[in-house]
Chains A and B, each alone.
Chain A
Amino acid sequence: MIRQKWWRTIGWVCALLWAVTPVFAQVAPEDSGNGTWVVQAKQVYVGDGTVIEGGMLIIRDGVIVAIGKDLEIPSGARVVEVPGGTVTPGLIDANARIESENLLPKLRERGPSGRSHLAGTLPGTAAIPAPDDFKPEPEVEQHEHHEDGVIVEDGVERDDGETPPGDEEDGEVRDAHICPTCDKPHKHASCRSCGPGHDCSACMACVASFVESVGTPEVTSGPSLGPATSPFAIPENGRIRPSQVMARLIRSDYTDIEENLGTCGCTHAKDNYPEQAASGLGPSTIVTEQAAEILPHTNVLDAVDLQSPDFERLLRAGVTTVYVSPDSSAVIGCRGAVVQTGGADRVLRGAAAVKATLGNDPIWLGSVNQGLFFQRVARRVHRRPTTRMGVTWVFRKAFHDTIRRALGVPAYGADTPSVEASEVLAQVLRGEVGLRIQAREQIDISAAIRLANEFGLSFLLEEATEAYRCLDELELARVPVVFGPIFERPRGLRAQTREAGRSRYHTFRSLLERGIPTALSAQELREEDGLARQCMYAMRFGVSEQDALQAVTSVPARLLGIEDQVGTLAVGKRADVVVWSGAPFSSISRPAWVCVGGEPLVSHPRWVNVQTKRQDSW
């Protein structure tokens, strides 16, 4: 009897649950009429600051084909109407952390011996055969000395007659014992032991003086955002940029030189590969490979499950494009990816910018290597940086070593990046691959700017919790920022970093007021703390609705270099559209209809009225 009652209760509860679960109807493709959708609402927010009252939008074949007022509705089109609603572009989170849970369990399955297997098969650890043309003691050619081999102005190089070191003929093996700047033994001003017989290539002061001689970037002012072609589109305005010099110096064939070095008898040769001391596996929140500290040759997309329910959560919240940002457990971590949260063509950019992290995160996150050994042992084995000095050192050495390799100079030591990593870092130096630096505290933001100036790097600043303390510096350096999340008091992982205690409500507003190109991100936060709510917070703290909207649409699209596809509602762009039940970031409205690439994926029948325009009679 009692059991029967219970079953009845459970039945009722189940029935009720079923009844109240919000229905996010998946609109079947065959419902979409002739593939044409018309979206109508009270207002259309284009995303660049303009508002069309009573506007409408026509989508065909995944692309916006018309936008405006009183457009003629094509016959056979499906008309989506949200009375009192607002149409905006799909939101873009330029620094999203995706819950990607599928990598680590698989690795764990390998069991304890998996570590050594991994270490043994990593590239670069096998003995490198000596090339036939390797000469142990190349002759030192005497030639006329020039102070500067290359002068670059306005991106056009002016050659002073001497062949620049990077453009040497093939087969000429660089002598490690002469000055890398001029192929001639001479004295570097900053080096005490510089002179004949001194190994300039092994001397950091010499390499530093070389970098100096090439020139440090001059800070100039310019438009807020440059052309879309460069990864972060920072204008150069004719200043001499070392990275341009590097671009010519660093050639893709430098790996041959590296191989030569591998057989030079140098005792450091095999220490070049930190993968040899493969660490244990990190906690499940970490997707960055923990086998080395410098991993720009790995890609976060390999660890992202595109079917992860996390994407669905983002989609429901109106976020249609995300920059999947790697975690901050390595000083120079893997490359991010630009991914759509739904639709057919998900990956917009597979290998985007390299992620670097300054501050405390690589220290405390990276050292949690609790695979086989206890933490302390893993730390000793793996030589992770344990202080801010160490983090800065690893960052600096990674780029120094890349330059050295490009110059045919051996790179060795405990924190030397692998050859593959150097390859990508060389691309970063050349400006072909973007660099994103995560820094929260003022000290780390300043360090990021300092390091970037040292190597002539353009970069994008992530998170920037304490940006309000160095606004002048950021403004001067013209660093774009992906700020966020906004929070009242840190919680979760962010609280554990101990870098979030001095956040301020006004930071985002202040960044905008200074004209610093700033996008807003919710990172790992979802739903009531998610991206749309971040805009709501920003508005509470004094940011206008249109500014908040741009910070999650057109600005991140420009920063990610995808503004020709998404970011605003314009004819010819991908139809990533969100229709909100009211004002976009109001606390009492929500996304009612979301379509990605013209494919409606979320439709809430409570607000959305879908009708098919009848075929014209003939």
Chain B
Amino acid sequence: MNRCFPVRLLALTLGILIGLSASANGAPPPSKVALTGGKIVPVVGDVVEQGTLLIENGTITAIGSDVEIPYDAMEVDCTGKVLFPGMFDPHSWRGLDVTNENLPVAPYLDVYDAIDPSRLYFEDALRDGIASIHVSQGNNCVIGGLTRLVRPIGRTPDAMTVRPALALKISATPKSGFDRMIQLATLRDAFVELDHYLERLAERRYEEVQKEQDKDVDVGPAEARRLGKELIRPEDYDDRHRNLVKLRDGDLGAWIYCGAATDVGPAIRVARENGFLERTVFVLGGDAHRAVQEFRATKRPVVLPTNLTYRWYDPVSAELQEVFVPKVFHDAGVPFALQPHPDSSLAERYLNYQAAQLVREGIPMNEAYASITLRPAEFLGVAKQRGSLEVGKVADLVIFSGDPLEFSSWVEQVYLAGILAYDRARDPRLQTLLGAPEGEAEGDQPEEGGSQAPDPAADSSQPETDQPEKDQQ
């Protein structure tokens, strides 16, 4: 019995997959979609109270109150609803099967190998209106490996990918079993070792080139290293060092986790010494907001901790103290992005609720909107394509039933690259939780595949708009 079980499970999974792909190939998505009558919150630019957003081949081609709808466009009535850019989860490892927590220095790892498209997290992300997820190694590392920007739809990591090899994950906070001295020594050592490796490589390359030209090695080792530097080709780097070289040479950014204010100084020093400070984004935890002036001085953006209010008991008076972290950065003029709170029992799991907290504490509405859309897009280097509703950008958008910051608003639909990827009316899991009559929820079950049928990721040639992005790498 037991031995049969995995086989059965596999067969069942295969069956479902085949069923899904069959239905997916059944109906090609319309190339032109006109979303009419809704309130458009573009984040960049003015709010359109009742307007039309036109999508052609996955790209936004027109926004406004008097847009002419092409005769061949599929018209979707959004009256009473609100159109909002697809939100960003700027830093998450929950899409991974298991993170690497064993090897401290692993710049050669890529989250690509561990992204598990079947994780419930991706389904949830879609349900919550998150259109882009920056998947990264966890914080329990020294140099974690390459990160990747994906969207929460698709059956393979390739199909999900928006941008591969986006940045290198680094942690300045001690991983488990390490103290701060070991952590930072290990981090510095990785770059010292890189220097040694490059010297050896240069020497070897000089000798190789001399040999190719049938010449003797007639200089000392120091001179050979100097001369050999010019001769190193990109393919000469081995896997262990390639990404670190890219990091230094400006082809790769770094996302550095600082779990406490004390980690910020050393993190900045290491980044500056190795020349990648201007491509660094800091991911904060704990009381790292206390180092706000450091971020301000270095003009570096930050991803805020999941708990937006930092609370502590004063060690002397034992009184409860609290500080609203986004306000600290807003007042200091440091750009920031918000994360959903994975451990919250409900509200803070929603990015739009996180943004609502900002408005509650007196941060301007547009800054709150940007912190979950445009800012993370900027940090990730995709702001030209995503992060707001503007003509020419990828049509990643969320249709809310009401004000995006009001918690009673639901994500009604999510469009990814102009294709309907989520529809609340056809979300059987949600209907069950909300207590819909059983028959109704059951009846929708087979249509779940249908709602995701025009899966842009299933067909790699589908979202042409993404192709140039990949090429930019």
Contacts and interface: CB of A to CB of B under 8 A. Distances in A.
Contacts, number: 106
B321 interface: yes
Nearest to B352: A587
B104 to A, nearest CB: 28
Interface in A318-361: none
Contact of B320 (A312, A468, A588): A312
Contact of B321 (A21, A528, A586): A21
A309 B348 CA distance: 23
A451 interface: no
Contacts of A507: 435
A17 B323 contact: yes
B302 to A, nearest CB: 15
Interface string B384-414: 0000000000000000000001111010000
B345 A313 contact: no
B180 interface: no
B434 A541 contact: yes
Interface string A541-571: 1100000000000000000000000000000
Given A540-B408, A586-B406, A20 B323 contact: yes
A9 interface: yes
A364 interface: no
A180 B279 CA distance: 86
Interface in B332-368: 332, 343-349, 353, 356-357, 359-362
Contact of B435 (A21, A510, A533): A510
Nearest to A495: B345
Interface stretch (A154-162, A418-426, A483-491): A483-491
Nearest to B261: A13
B343 A528 contact: no
A539 interface: yes
Nearest to B293: A12
Contacts of B361: 22
A192 interface: no
Nearest to B358: A588
B322 interface: yes
Given A21-B322, A510-B435, A589-B360, A9 B293 contact: yes
A504 B433 contact: yes
A380 interface: no
Given A505-B434, A540-B407, A540-B408, A21 B362 contact: no
Contacts of B345: 485, 487-491, 525, 529
Contacts of A510: 435
A542 B332 CA distance: 40
B435 A588 contact: no
A614 interface: no
Interface in A495-546: 504-507, 509-510, 525, 527-529, 533, 536-537, 539-542
B71 interface: no
Interface in B307-327: 309, 313, 318-324, 327
Contact of A528 (B318, B323, B348, B408): B348
B187 to A, nearest CB: 20
Report the interface size class on chain B.
Answer: 35 or more
Contacts of B324: 20, 22
Contacts of B356: 587-588
Interface in A580-616: 581, 586-590, 606
B292 interface: yes
Contact of A20 (B327, B344, B406, B408): B327
A95 B84 CA distance: 39
Interface string A12-26: 110011001110000
B299 interface: no
A509 B435 contact: yes
B346 A529 contact: yes
Contacts of A539: 407-408
Contacts of B344: 491, 528-529
Nearest to A525: B345
B321 A9 contact: no
B290 interface: yes
A529 B327 CA distance: 21
Contacts of B434: 504-506, 541-542
A528 B359 CA distance: 14
Contacts of B348: 528-529
Interface string A293-328: 000000000000000010011000000000000000
A13 B329 CA distance: 12
B266 to A, nearest CB: 13
A582 to B, nearest CB: 9
A529 to B, nearest CB: 5
Given A488-B345, A588-B360, A16 B332 contact: yes
A473 to B, nearest CB: 17
A507 B294 CA distance: 48
Contacts of B319: 309
A450 to B, nearest CB: 26
A537 B328 contact: no
Nearest to A581: B360
A587 B347 contact: yes
Given A20-B327, A20-B331, A529 B347 contact: yes
A13 B292 CA distance: 7
Contact of A587 (B313, B328, B406): B406
B291 interface: yes
Nearest to A21: B323
Contacts of B360: 581, 587-590
Interface string B431-447: 01111000000000000
A13 to B, nearest CB: 5
A313 B322 CA distance: 11
B435 A22 contact: no
A9 B293 CA distance: 7
A506 B435 contact: yes
A525 B345 CA distance: 9
Nearest to A486: B346
Interface string B118-160: 0000000000000000000000000000000000000000000
A313 B320 contact: yes
Interface string A107-122: 0000000000000000
A537 to B, nearest CB: 6
A586 B261 CA distance: 33
A537 B290 CA distance: 32
B406 A468 contact: no
Interface string B253-293: 00000000100000000000000000000000000001111
Contacts of B405: 587-588
Nearest to A308: B320
B428 to A, nearest CB: 14
A99 to B, nearest CB: 11
A587 to B, nearest CB: 4
Contacts of B292: 13, 16
Nearest to B365: A588
A468 B435 contact: yes
A485 B433 CA distance: 15
Contacts of A505: 433-435
Nearest to B331: A20
Contacts of A542: 434
B291 A487 contact: no
A380 B328 CA distance: 55
For B294, B360, B361, B435, the residue with the greatest tally of chain A CB atoms inside 10 Å of its CB is B435
Contacts of A12: 293
A507 to B, nearest CB: 8
Contact of B357 (A313, A490, A528, A541): A528
Please name the 10 residue pairs, one residue from A and one from B, whose CB atoms are nearest each other, closest first.
A506-B435, A487-B345, A587-B356, A587-B407, A309-B320, A505-B433, A488-B346, A588-B359, A588-B360, A13-B290
Given A485-B345, A489-B345, 13 more contacts: A13-B291, A16-B328, A17-B323, A17-B328, A20-B331, A21-B322, A468-B435, A488-B345, A504-B433, A528-B357, A536-B407, A587-B405, A588-B360
9 contacts: A21-B321, A21-B322, A309-B318, A491-B344, A533-B347, A536-B347, A536-B407, A587-B356, A588-B405
